[in-house]
Amino acid sequence: MTNQTAYNQSIHAVEVKNTEATEYKIQIDLGIFKLNEIYKIEDIIENQVIVASCTANGMKFTDRYEFIQEGNHCRLTISDKMELKGLFKLSEGLVKMNLKTQMTENLNRLKTILES
């Protein structure tokens, strides 16, 4: 989790918060707002799945990383789910548009790192 700043342009800093490494303080810039929140590991299946989430005042997002062995290769699938509440709901269109662009750039950066 601490290496997310290497490929995710939205995440500016990550700091481990507990000895089990299940909670991280993260600084996120989503374009129209910035967050300093706790990112929690919700579920881990070793070498298969990592699920983590963050809840802020007006939103919650959950990230799911799935690793699937395909012969000598590994396929990584990342899915993000974001729920906006209250006044943040009004910004949903802008957030989705911004995140789509950022996600494509992040995945291309991650692909380059993994293939190097």
Alpha carbon distance 39, 23 (integer Å): 6
Percent of the chain with pLDDT over 90: 38
Task: Give the whole-angstrom CA distance, residue 77 versus residue 60.
Answer: 20
Q: Name the more confident of 98 and 114.
A: 114
Average model confidence (pLDDT) for the chain?
87
Question: Residues 9-57: pLDDT tens digits?
Answer: 889 999 999 989 899 999 988 777 788 999 999 999 999 999 999 988 7
Do 26 and 34 meet the contact criterion of CB atoms below 8 Å apart? no
CATH number of 2-115: 3.90.79.10, 3.40.50.170, 3.30.530.20, 3.40.50.300? 3.30.530.20
pLDDT, average across residues 97-115: 84
Which one, of 13, 11, 105, lies nearest residue 63 by Cα?
11
**51 close to 58: Cβ distance less than 8 angstroms:** no
